[in-house]
Structure 1
Amino acid sequence: MSGTPTPKQALILWCLLGRHGSALQSTLVPRIDKADREALIAGRYLEAEKQGRSLRLTVTDKGWAWTGEHMREPLPPSFRVLQDWLERMQADLAATGRTLAELVGSAPEEPAPAEPRSRARRASSKGSNSKGSKTPTPKQLRARIESAYLALTRGERAKAVRLSALRAGLADLDRATVDAGLAAILRGDRTARLSQFSDPKSLDPAERAAAFSPAGEPFHIIWIQS
Structure 2
Amino acid sequence: MSETPTSKQALILWCLLGRSGSALQSVIVPKIERADREALITAHLLEAHKQGRSLRLTVTDKGWNWAGAHLRDPLPPSLRVLQDWLELLHAHLEANAATLAEFIGPMRAEPKSVPASKAKVPAKSRSKDPPNSKAARKPKSASGPAPARIRERIEAAYLALTGGERATAVRLSALRAHLADVERETLDAGLAAILRGDPNARLSQFSDPKSLDAVEREAAYAPAGEPFHILWIQS
> TM-score, normalized by length of structure 1?
0.48
Bigger Cα Rg: 1
Q: Which has the higher contact order (CA 8 A, sep 6+)?
A: 2
